[in-house]
């Protein structure tokens, strides 16, 4: 079963009068990288959150957003009453000396620096465990989304490899013709260059055998078919993160296709090789999306 690298997950729960909403978005990435947007109350648990997500999501660029709302406020506030009284006493003295009224002094004090500030308290351990469970559910939701997208990728990539294997079979009818065409062309070239009567038939056959052995691509065909079968077997495994492994196998398939093309020396086989390369590139593009 394949899992896509991309996906989205969301979970929410009310914990001790706090509404906790967790959202996760995953994009393609060679390694695991997470960008966090956390409320101050969860900052002390950031390393725990990163470790949790690394174990569950494994690879990709992850955007994590957690909001904690309490009584309708996204950022619960606290009032520093001691500081407010300090400002109040000072303002009363200034107003008395200046002979000005002290109307609306409370509203002025509430706007003074650090009188009203976000609640920076650390979330209690028992509540953190509940928040952690919400994060786990969001990650599970993301993995479900990844799996659903992976099913479509599986169908497409399997089709590409099957097409390469089918194209491989189309090479077979041209092999005998290819050898005869090479032999005829070389023989004709020698006759034109030195004359038919000057050709040593025994030496010609020896050189031809040597040349044809160098042009033989039967081993490449065997390895190409083996790599295609290995790819099909691997893609059917139950392992979750197999993107890198599949990419390595595609590289080996590409090497055999390239060698087959370089040795072909036959127009129709070259066209088949080009079609193989086209299918291979489409498979490589899709593999970039695999976990």
Task: Look up residue 41 and give its DSSP letter.
Answer: G
- Distance CA(85)–CA(87), nearest Å, equals 5
pLDDT on residue 36: 95
**Residue 70 falls within a domain, yes or no?**
yes
Q: What is the pLDDT of residue 161?
A: 95
Q: pLDDT at position 205, please?
A: 67
C-alpha 216/C-alpha 98 separation (Å) is 105
| Ramachandran area for residue 114 (φ above 0: left; ψ -120 to 50: alpha; else beta) | left
Query: Quick check: is 59 in a domain?
Result: yes
**pLDDT at residue 264, rounded to an integer:** 83
Decide if 112 is inside a domain. yes
256-272: pLDDT as tens digits: 999 998 888 788 889 99
Residue 48 and residue 89 share a domain: no
Distance, CA of 103 to CA of 191 (rounded, Å): 116
Shared-domain flag, residues 54 and 135: yes
Q: How many CA atoms lie within 13 A of 93 on its CB side?
A: 6
Which pLDDT does position 115 carry in this prediction?
Answer: 73
Q: pLDDT at residue 226 above 60?
A: yes
- Residue 230 forms part of a structural domain: no
* Cα 287 from Cα 4, distance rounded (Å): 9
- Res 235 pLDDT > 80: yes
Cα–Cα separations (whole angstroms), residue 204 to 27, 186, 190 = 61, 10, 10
pLDDT digits (tens, 9 = 90+) for 169-201: 998 888 777 777 777 777 676 666 666 666 667
State the average pLDDT for the chain.
85
Count: domains in the chain: 2
Average pLDDT over residues 14-29: 92
User: Residue 192 has what pLDDT?
Assistant: 66
Q: Do residues 241 and 147 lie in contact, with contact meaning Cβ atoms separated by under 8 Å?
A: no
Over residues 4-23, mean pLDDT: 92
What's the CATH code of the domain at 38? 3.30.230
Same domain? 13 vs 108: no
* Percent of the chain at pLDDT exceeding 70: 86
Question: pLDDT digits over 27-65, tens only?
Answer: 998 889 999 999 888 988 999 999 999 999 999 999 999
The encoded tokens of residue 62 equal 């992850």
> Domain check: are 62 and 32 in the same one?
yes
**Do 23 and 65 meet the contact criterion of CB atoms below 8 Å apart?**
yes
Looking at the chain, the whole-number percentage of residues with pLDDT higher than 90 is: 48
Residue 52 and residue 81 in one domain:
no
Q: Which of the residue ranges 69-78, 91-100, 190-199 has the most confident prediction, judged by mean pLDDT? A: 91-100
| Upper half-sphere CA count for residue 9 (Cβ side, 13 Å) | 29
pLDDT tens digits, one per residue of 128-180? 999 999 999 999 999 999 999 999 999 999 999 999 999 999 988 887 777 77
In terms of DSSP H, where are the helices of the chain? 46-57, 81-98, 105-110, 125-194, 201-215, 218-235, 243-264, 267-287
Domain that holds residue 15: 7-74+124-147
The dihedral built from the CA positions of residue 151, 27, 161 and 246, taken in this order, carries a sign that is: negative
69 SS3 class: strand
- Judged against a pLDDT cut of 80, whether residue 99 lies above it is answered with no
Q: Which residues pair with 14 in a beta bridge?
A: 19
Least confident of 10-24, 44-58, 116-130, 218-232: 116-130
pLDDT confidence of 16, banded at 50, 70, 90?
confident
Question: How many residues would you count in the chain?
Answer: 291
Q: How far apart are CA 244 and CA 123, in angstroms?
A: 39
Q: What is the C-alpha radius of gyration for the chain, rounded to an integer number of angstroms?
A: 35
Which residues make Cβ contacts (< 8 Å) with residue 225, sequence separation at least 6? 165, 168
Half-sphere exposure at residue 155, Cβ-oriented, CA atoms within 13 angstroms: 5
Coil, helix or strand at residue 78: strand
Read off the pLDDT of each residue in 216-226 and give the average, rounded to a whole number.
89
* pLDDT of amino acid 176: 73
pLDDT confidence band for 71 (50 / 70 / 90): low
Q: Is 253 among the domain residues? A: no
Same structural domain for residues 15 and 64? yes
Quick one: tokens of 286? 């899709």
């Amino acid at each position: 079963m394949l899992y896509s690298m991309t996906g989205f997950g969301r979970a929410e729960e009310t914990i001790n009068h706090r509404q906790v909403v967790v959202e996760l978005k995953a994009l393609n990435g060679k390694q695991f990288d997470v960008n966090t947007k956390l409320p101050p109350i969860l900052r002390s648990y950031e390393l725990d959150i990163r470790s949790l997500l690394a174990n569950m999501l494994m690879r990709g660029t992850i955007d994590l957003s957690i909001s904690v709302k309490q009584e309708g406020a996204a950022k619960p506030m606290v009032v520093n009453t001691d500081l407010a009284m300090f400002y109040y006493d000072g303002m009363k003295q200034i107003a008395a000396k200046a002979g000005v009224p002290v109307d609306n002094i409370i509203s002025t004090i509430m706007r003074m620096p650090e009188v009203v500030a976000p609640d920076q308290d650390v979330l209690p351990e028992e509540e953190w465990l509940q928040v952690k469970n919400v994060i786990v559910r969001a990650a599970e939701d993301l993995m479900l989304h990844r799996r659903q997208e992976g099913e479509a990728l599986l169908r497409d990539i399997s089709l590409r490899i099957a097409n390469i294997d089918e194209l491989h079979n189309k090479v077979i009818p041209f092999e005998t013709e290819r050898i005869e065409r090479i032999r005829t062309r070389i023989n004709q070239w020698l006759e034109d260059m030195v004359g038919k009567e000057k050709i040593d038939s025994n030496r010609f056959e020896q050189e031809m055998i040597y040349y044809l052995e160098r042009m033989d691509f039967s081993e490449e065909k065997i390895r190409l078919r083996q790599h295609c079968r290995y790819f099909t077997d691997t893609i059917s495994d139950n392992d979750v993160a197999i993107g890198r492994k599949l990419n390595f196998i595609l590289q080996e398939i590409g090497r055999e296709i390239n060698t087959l093309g370089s040795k072909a020396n036959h127009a129709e086989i070259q066209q088949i090789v080009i079609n193989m390369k086209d299918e291979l590139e489409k498979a490589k593009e899709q593999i970039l999306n695999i976990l």
